[in-house]
Amino acid sequence: MKPVVAIVGRPNVGKSTLFNRITRSRNALVDNLPGVTRDRHFGDARWNDTLFSLVDTGGFADDKEDHFSSQIRVQVQLAIEEADLIILVLDGKNGISPFDEELIKILRPCDKPVFYLVNKIDGLELEFKLYEFYNLGITNLFSVSAEHGYGIPDFLDILTRSLPTADKYPQIDLIKLAVVGRPNVGKSSLINRILGENRLVVSDLPGTTRDSVDTICTINDRSYLMIDTAGIRRKSKVSARLEKFSIIKSLKSLDRCDIALIIIDAYEGITEQDIKIAGYAYERHCGCIFLLNKWDIVEKDANIAKKFIEELRYSAKYLSFAPILTISALTGQRVFKIFNLANEVFDQYEQRVKTGKLNNILESALKRNEPSLHQGKRLKFYYATQVSSKPPTFIIFVNYPQAVHFSYKRYLINQIREKTGLIKTPLRLLFRQRTGRIEFGSKKPQKKSIKKKR
């Protein structure tokens, strides 16, 4: 496996900026507001052909007014325990803090390499600011600017030479699952339940998760990338700039996932915002599974599950293919059944249909129910083929593609579902103009034989 490098430090010293700089991404949220990062954030990095995993952590502090500070400290300590190498980031602009001294006391007994970075040193003229930090009893300091890149290449040269040798391992095929929903419906609690540890900060306060957090897990010999996301609130309720960025990242998580696990608070019932979030997933053509969470505290009667399912199917008709499962992240009720469903959805999501079979299905569908006329002219369907998977996407060549009514398109999709068994995945059906080909159901013209003259 790849070696793991953890970045730790007090709030607002530039840990997430350093994470983005090393991973060459913008995956970690960055803001001048302290405490932006709360969970451990994992990313892949490469330097001089050396691969390693990088872990961003929340700011290490003891703020009694901050509801999350104690949980963040636990997350930081877990990251230190799991890492092969640790980077402590210090603030060269604002100087030494008591939290720096506390972190150094924690790190001194570690039997792992520790690198001490003095960040926000934007050039050679600011190198003198390092002298203050020698009072901490550290002899080997690195001056860098995570924002501008000053000193980063030299530091990474030394860091990669200190990493344990990474084992050669095969590329893991991951099923990417994005856990989405309104704030406080139990997204992080679900992932913690699956992982069997408090990997993510959980609280009753809405908006606890601010960033999209990736975690890999293996269930029954199949690997999954679990993407925890910030709660998506109504636009009218979103005011803070940081929350807007969090919601944008949540929506981007839908763009890169295979399956969206749409969590609904069953105790509160299905809301308009739940349906809107489902619509976001539908628009991005990812597989979908509805999870009715907190089922353990829902008042039960004989038909309660049936009522929920009927209401959900009525409100989100466009996701009629999405399975529905009642769960409890708190008690673990039916949580691991999610993966059986996810496997079924994913297997259909990446399915390919042979061209011959597809054309037979469509020819049969056209004979059963012919399309309506377009301006007095008959629609002619010539040929169909699958152009991609994830989701299965088909193109049909037709003489007037703009004239295919949406109800007839839906009919064709349902016919493909019925004949191929692709009943739990989105399907895309596109129409393209093509003329001069043999249409479905017509006979090929016979070639006239030409007798050679003697």
Q: What are 166-209's pLDDT values in tens digits?
A: 554 345 678 999 999 988 898 888 988 888 865 544 334 344 44
Q: What is the percent of the chain with per-residue pLDDT over 90, rounded to a whole number? A: 42
Q: Using 50, 70 and 90 to split pLDDT, how confident is the model at 358? A: very high
Given a cut of 50, whether residue 425 has pLDDT beyond it is: yes
- For 413-437, what is the mean pLDDT? 90
Backbone CA torsion sign across 219, 223, 224, 225: positive
User: Which of 22-36, 83-97, 112-126, 336-350 is predicted most confidently?
Assistant: 336-350
Instruction: Specify whether the CB–CB gap between 143 and 118 falls below 8 A.
Output: yes
Please tell me the distance from the alpha carbon of residue 241 to that of residue 219, in angstroms, as a whole number.
Answer: 37
User: Which of 25-39, 264-278, 368-382 is predicted most confidently?
Assistant: 264-278
Please tell me the distance from the alpha carbon of residue 251 to that of residue 246, in angstroms, as a whole number.
Answer: 9
Cβ atoms within 10 Å of 449's Cβ, excluding its own: 5
Determine which helix (DSSP H) or strand (DSSP E) holds 398, and give its type and residue range.
Answer: strand 393-398
Instruction: Specify whether the CB–CB gap between 46 and 3 falls below 8 A.
Output: no
Burial class (CB in 10 A: 0-12, 13-18, 19+), 81: exposed
Given this model, what pLDDT does residue 81 score? 78
* pLDDT tens digits along 129-174: 888 898 888 878 999 999 999 999 999 999 999 887 655 434 567 8
Given a cut of 50, whether residue 31 has pLDDT beyond it is: no
Please tell me the distance from the alpha carbon of residue 386 to that of residue 394, in angstroms, as a whole number.
Answer: 4
Please tell me the distance from the alpha carbon of residue 216 to that of residue 197, in angstroms, as a whole number.
Answer: 13
Instruction: Specify whether the CB–CB gap between 316 and 175 falls below 8 A.
Output: no
Given this model, what pLDDT does residue 258 score? 95
| 341 or 34, which is more confident | 341
Q: Identify which of 403, 409, 411 has the alpha carbon closest to the alpha carbon of residue 373.
A: 403
Given this model, what pLDDT does residue 240 score? 47
Q: Identify which of 264, 361, 372 has the alpha carbon closest to the alpha carbon of residue 319.
A: 264
Output the six-digit token pair for 53: 């995993």
Torsion of CA 332, 338, 340, 342, to 10 degrees: -160
Given this model, what pLDDT does residue 299 score? 87
Output the six-digit token pair for 310: 């009927």
Output the CA–CA distances (angstroms, integers) from residue 77 to 6, 57, 105, 365, in the order listed: 10, 10, 12, 61
* pLDDT tens digits along 33-56: 444 444 456 778 889 888 888 888
Chain CA centroid to CA 19, Å: 18
Question: 384 - beta bridge partners?
Answer: 396
Cis amide bond preceding 391, omega within 30: yes
Planar angle of CA 299, 305, 310, nearest 5 degrees: 130
Token pair 């957090």: residue: 213
Where do the domains of the chain lie, and which CATH numbers do they carry? 4-162 (3.40.50.300), 174-349 (3.40.50.300), 355-433 (3.30.300.20)
pTM flag (> 0.85): no
Output the six-digit token pair for 280: 């976001």
Please tell me the distance from the alpha carbon of residue 408 to that of residue 432, in angstroms, as a whole number.
Answer: 15
Given this model, what pLDDT does residue 232 score? 73
Burial class (CB in 10 A: 0-12, 13-18, 19+), 283: exposed
